[in-house]
């Protein structure tokens, strides 16, 4: 069996090396192995954990209110969603090197850089499966539904440091696509209901599901940065088809 590489954690110029038997928590509480900022109430007391899983290293979101954001070596960021009470905490394998964990607070966005101490840059790490993942539960998206979802998540799909982990408002989406706001709301709500009916947790009581939808769709790679190019091409085709005034 291949030995697990050490995990090197860099934060504000300091380095911590974790072996397979180590666990490191991070957040604002002084009890955390890595206290980010005890005065920043935008950071959860215990925001997350770095630990070995047997097959590799993983980042686990331990917050009940705030997602973590994971940026891969190519600059693509995805949220690590909050899981509803009673659910299994969401996690992401350290499946590349370097990987950056962003913890968004009120005062600052804190960045932990993770590197595998291995000759294999991928680490050959198995991606943990989530039985509630949307990839297998989301019905096929029509182009009309996909375009409003891509517009909604467009800030998330930009490479870091232009990554903006906030969903666009219904009106912003409508303006981007030249659609009535009511149409945008209806299409997003239809996707939410499809996921609820498929058993995805955390969406059933949402009055405004934009943020939660963004987190699920991106964390499961239903949407990727390539969809921004797709949306640009689609918009250009629509403009060419529209009669000139």
pLDDT, residue 161, reads 81
Q: Tell me whether residue 110 is in a domain.
A: yes
Residue 236 CB-density burial (10 A; 0-12 exposed, 13-18 middle, 19+ buried): exposed
What pLDDT, on a 0 to 100 scale, did the predictor assign at position 65?
Answer: 85
Residue 156 CA to residue 103 CA, distance in Å, equals 15
Evaluate whether 63 touches 44 at the Cβ level (below 8 Å). Answer: yes
In a domain, 1, yes or no: no
Strand order in the sheet with 109-117: 14-18, 6-11, 109-117, 99-104, 68-71, 77-80
Q: Determine, yes or no, domain membership for 128.
A: no
pLDDT of residue 216: 79
Q: Are residues 184 and 106 in the same domain?
A: no
- Per-residue model confidence (pLDDT) at position 201: 60
Q: Domain check: are 139 and 215 in the same one?
A: yes
56 and 82 share a domain? yes
Check residue 244 and give its pLDDT. Answer: 57
CATH of the domain at 24: 2.60.200.20
pLDDT at 123: 44
Same domain for 89 and 174?
no
Question: What pLDDT does 39 receive?
Answer: 94
- How many other β-carbons are positioned within 10 Å of the β-carbon of residue 206? 14
Distance CA 58, CA 76 (A): 18
d(CA 201, CA 81) in angstroms, rounded, equals 11
Q: What is the structure's pLDDT at 2? A: 65
In the prediction, which pLDDT does 202 show?
65
**What are the average pLDDT values for consecutive 10-residue runs of the chain, which has 245 residues?**
85 94 96 95 95 88 89 80 74 86 91 84 44 51 94 90 89 95 94 78 71 80 87 87 64
What b/e readout covers 29-59, taking b as 16+ CB neighbours within 10 angstroms? Answer: eeebebebbeebebbbebbbbbbbbebbbbb
Question: What letter would DSSP give residue 137?
Answer: T
30 in helix, strand or coil? coil
- Angstrom distance (rounded) from CA 84 to CA 169: 23
Residues 85 and 41 in one domain: yes
Strand, helix or coil for residue 123: coil
Token digits of residue 54: 């047997």
Residues 10 and 63 in one domain: yes
Residue 171 lies in a domain: yes
Q: Which of 2, 14, 243 lies closest to 122, judged by CA?
A: 2
Separation of alpha carbons 68 and 103, rounded Å: 6
Domain membership of residue 76 (yes or no) is yes
Q: Quick one: pLDDT at residue 174?
A: 96
pTM: 0.62
Q: In terms of residue numbers, what domain contains 71?
A: 6-117
Instruction: Kindly state whether residue 206 falls inside one of the protein's structural domains.
Output: yes
Q: How many structural domains comprise the chain?
A: 2
Report d(CA 179, CA 57) in Å as an integer.
Answer: 44
């Amino acid at each position: 069996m291949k030995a697990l590489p050490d995990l090197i954690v860099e934060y504000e110029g300091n380095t911590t090396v974790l072996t397979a038997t180590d666990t490191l928590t991070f957040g604002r509480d002084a009890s955390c192995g890595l206290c980010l900022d005890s005065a920043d109430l935008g950071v959860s007391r215990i925001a997350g954990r770095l630990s070995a899983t047997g097959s590799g290293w993983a980042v686990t979101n331990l917050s009940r209110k705030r997602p973590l954001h994971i940026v891969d070596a190519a600059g693509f960021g995805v949220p690590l969603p909050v899981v509803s009470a009673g659910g299994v905490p969401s996690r992401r394998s350290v499946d590349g090197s370097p990987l950056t964990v962003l913890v968004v607070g009120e005062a600052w966005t804190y960045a932990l850089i993770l590197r595998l101490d291995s000759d294999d840059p991928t680490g050959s790490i198995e991606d943990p499966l989530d039985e509630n993942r949307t990839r297998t539960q989301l019905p096929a998206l029509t182009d009309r539904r996909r375009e409003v979802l891509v517009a909604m998540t467009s800030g998330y799909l930009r490479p870091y440091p232009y990554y903006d982990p906030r969903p666009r408002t219904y009106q912003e989406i409508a303006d981007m696509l030249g659609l009535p706001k009511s149409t945008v709301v209806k299409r997003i709500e239809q996707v939410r209901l499809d996921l609820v009916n498929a058993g995805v947790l955390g969406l059933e009581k949402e009055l405004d599901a934009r943020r939660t939808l963004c987190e699920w769709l991106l964390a499961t790679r239903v949407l990727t940065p390539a969809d921004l190019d797709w949306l640009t091409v689609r918009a250009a085709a629509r403009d060419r088809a529209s009669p000139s005034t």
